[in-house]
């Protein structure tokens, strides 16, 4: 497609970019606003509810994100260990795995009711399932002709390809075939978790799923380009992504800044079709990592999180954590992905674990909502505890948060 036609299609779909108001100090003090072109300032309705844990008793899993694939929820996870007779096995470690969870007929997650006096932080109520290989990671790690499951290298370092954000669904066909993408940084770390490469290359994976009678069969993740973004380039899409009106908006985090690119959903694999937000406008020229004009202020609180679009608010939303470990959940919103974004604020604090890194990897799960008009969100985070043998055990609390409607905030 000629670039001029591409620009025309993009411009017609996001013409609001230049017309968004900056809001006022009075608005930022707390009251939600649903007026056109003004930022939405969310307020929690009642008290968020811990529904239990998301999990599969066979696995000890770190950091899960999800997307809706047809009539189910598809999850991708980071480091995963096997569990045998209730005990976490030290080896093997898989750098990533995947799973399913079910939805009810009304579209809500198939959460089992908690029994009386059951501890929601110790009880799996949303069952994860699916058949993973124990010989390789879900997102394949290929280096020097080898395919180490955990990414371990001969020199003792590790190439840990950990998904930071949920898969980005670009199409769902009438026959149930789903296509999605994940950008994953080729993180290279030492045993002490210090980084070998400060700004590593980023791998692009295409995830495809065709409806199958085998409910345990997982979507196939194909390695499209091992260095879709090169070393010392911005890892657009790895930090977060959201699709709106046929356009994929891809967020990257670099040097304390938040950068943004966009591309039509049917052109994701073609870098020549991308545009980049630089100096307050879209450009075909890819910026370098030291260009301060790429930054979109307040687009997140600095930690891991999820971008999505809220129909009740007619707004883009980010929910996640700060740069500090813990289960403090922050939110920010904007009428357009380029902003202005409201200043992120804390709306919920979950229970921390007993490990040195007590909690992290806060994620939102809009695919679990009954429909696009439900004014609520499901969130999870990774809670880390140490068991009697001093092994770190991961758990994934599932929390339901409702938001006040406009008339309820008056």
DSSP one-letter string for 238-251 = TSEEEEETTEEEEE
Report pLDDT for 19.
34
CB-based contact 384:394 (threshold 8 Å): yes
Report pLDDT for 13.
52
d(CA 227, CA 185): 9
Burial class (CB within 10 angstroms; exposed 0-12, middle 13-18, buried 19+) of 303: buried
Report pLDDT for 3.
41
d(CA 8, CA 3): 9
Report pLDDT for 253.
98
Report pLDDT for 39.
86
- The domains found in the chain, sorted by start residue, are 3-409 (2.115.10.20)
Q: How far is CA 300 from the centre of its chain?
A: 12
Report pLDDT for 20.
34
Residues of the chain scoring pLDDT < 70: 1-37, 145, 407-410
Beta strands in 113-201 (DSSP E): 124-127, 158-160, 168-172, 178-185, 187-189
**Cβ atoms within 10 Å of 104's Cβ, excluding its own:** 10
Residue with the two structure tokens 């700060």 = 322
CB-based contact 6:325 (threshold 8 Å): no
Specify the pTM: 0.91
């Amino acid at each position: 497609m000629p670039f001029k036609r591409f620009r025309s299609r993009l411009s017609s779909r996001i013409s609001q970019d230049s017309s968004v108001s900056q809001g006022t100090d009075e608005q930022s003090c707390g009251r939600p606003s649903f007026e056109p072109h003004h930022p939405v300032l969310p307020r929690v309705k009642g008290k968020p509810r811990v529904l239990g844990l998301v999990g599969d008793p066979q696995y000890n899993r770190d950091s899960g994100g999800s997307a809706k694939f047809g009539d189910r929820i598809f999850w991708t996870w980071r480091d995963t260990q096997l569990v045998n007779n209730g005990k976490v096995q030290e080896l093997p470690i898989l750098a990533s795995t995947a799973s399913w969870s079910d939805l009810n007929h009304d579209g809500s997650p198939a959460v089992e009711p908690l029994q009386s006096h059951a501890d929601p932080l110790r009880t799996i109520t949303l069952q994860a399932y699916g058949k993973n290989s124990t010989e390789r990671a879900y997102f394949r790690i290929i280096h020097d002709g080898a395919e180490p499951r955990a990414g371990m290298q001969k020199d003792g370092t590790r190439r840990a390809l950990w998904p930071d954000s949920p898969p980005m669904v670009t199409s769902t066909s009438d026959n149930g075939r789903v296509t999605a993408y994940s950008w994953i940084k080729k993180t290279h770390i030492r045993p002490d978790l210090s980084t070998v490469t400060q700004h590593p290359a980023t791998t692009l994976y295409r995830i495809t799923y065709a409806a199958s009678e085998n409910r345990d069969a997982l979507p196939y993740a194909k390695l499209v380009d091992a260095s879709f973004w090169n070393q010392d380039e911005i890892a657009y899409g790895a930090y977060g992504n959201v699709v709106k009106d046929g356009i994929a908006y891809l967020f990257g985090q670099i040097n304390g800044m938040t950068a943004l690119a966009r591309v039509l959903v049917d052109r994701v694999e073609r870098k020549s079709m991308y545009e980049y937000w630089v100096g307050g406008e879209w450009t075909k020229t890819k910026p370098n990592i030291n260009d301060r004009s790429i930054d979109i202020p307040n687009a997140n609180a600095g930690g891991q999180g999820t971008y999505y679009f809220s129909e009740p608010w007619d707004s883009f939303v980010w929910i996640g954590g700060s740069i500090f470990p813990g289960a403090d959940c922050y939110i920010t919103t904007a009428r357009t992905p380029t902003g202005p974004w409201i200043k992120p604020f804390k709306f919920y604090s979950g229970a921390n674990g007993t490990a040195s890194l007590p909690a992290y990897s806060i994620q939102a799960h809009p695919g679990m909502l009954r429909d696009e008009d439900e004014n609520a969100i499901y969130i999870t985070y990774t809670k880390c505890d140490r068991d009697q043998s001093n092994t770190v055990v991961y758990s994934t609390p599932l929390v339901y948060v409702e938001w006040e409607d406009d008339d309820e905030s008056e």
